[in-house]
Amino acid sequence: MNSVLATMKRNFISQIRAYPIGFFMGNITTCFFIVMGSFFVYSIVFEKNVSADFIAYSNTSDYMSYVILGSLIYMFVVRTFLNVSRSFITEMREGTIDSLLIAPLNHIGYLCGNMLEQIITTTMEVFVALIISLPFGLKFQSVNITSALVCIIISLLSFFGMSVILCGVMVYLRDTYISQNTVFAIINLLCGIAFPIQYLPKWAQNISNLIPVTYSLKIMRNSVLSGMSIFNQRQDFIILLLQGVCYCIIGILLLKIIIKKVPERQFI
């Protein structure tokens, strides 16, 4: 906990003093353009009509709420990945990686501190984006709070595991831009941010089902838009939990390799 709290405090100080406005405005703008683009397509192109297939796939006829909720979760995913996955690369660029490696701290705690700081920061950003999205048609007609909260907790576990794995890839490649944006593009296309994954080819659906974001989105939408309980979604919850545990185990094992590779990779 000392490592977690110390890292979180340091990151908060850095965010406040250095670049909070740029990151904040960038994420809000991204979410806004996704929502606004979907609104124009839904209102002008499709004249506010949805097909029977969409209703069957998504369990709702409220397309705008479907897209807005997906955009908010995507924003949360992006922000989580940004801070946690490139933490070691940032230390390398700032010249503090050697001090970090020899310091008597738990490296899992260090990454958890990055994750915790990002959760708090992003929650505030999502709240602002939520307010901005309300005029575009976001509706909460029947919300199952318990199911939504449990989904958030399990989703954060899986997001953390994915971030640690991506961290290892970044350290090995010594790259953040291509690696992160490739992952974001795959998630945006395959995980059902703006449309159900059933519209994708079968092979793409199989890849999508291996990514925890897909089940996180599905459960959250069912919980918030349809009011489905944990029991009614128990299979999806189990799959999301298993994926989260597997990703975390792989990430922790990979972290041991990362720690050994960091000193040599910074001079390549």
Choice between 124 and 234, residue whose per-residue pLDDT is larger: 234
User: How large is the C-alpha radius of gyration of the chain?
Assistant: 19
Main-chain dihedrals φ then ψ at residue 116, nearest 5 degrees: -65, -45
The overall average pLDDT reported for the chain is 83
**pLDDT category of residue 18 using cuts at 50, 70 and 90:** low
- Give pLDDT tens digits for 206-229: 999 999 999 999 999 899 888 888
- Confidence (pTM): 0.86
Q: Give pLDDT tens digits for 231-266.
A: 888 899 999 999 999 998 998 888 888 777 776 665
CB 166 within 8 A of CB 248: no
Buried b (16+ CB within 10 A) or exposed e, 235-253: ebbebbbebbeebbeebbe
**Encoded tokens for 9:** 């405090």
One-letter amino acid at 215 equals: Y
- pLDDT tens digits for range 180-199: 888 888 998 888 888 889 98
Residue 267 has a pLDDT of 57
Enter the DSSP assignment of 92. Answer: H
Tally of domains within the chain: 1
DSSP per-residue string spanning 118-184? HHHHHHHHHHHHHHHHGGGT---SS--HHHHHHHHHHHHHHHHHHHHHHHHHHHHHT-SHHHHHHHH
- Residue 257 CA to residue 251 CA, distance in Å, equals 10
Asked whether 117 and 198 are in contact (CB, 8 A), the reply is no
pLDDT at position 202: 92
DSSP run (H or E) holding 226: none
> Which domain does 7 fall in, by range?
2-265
Most confident of 2-16, 91-105, 215-229: 215-229
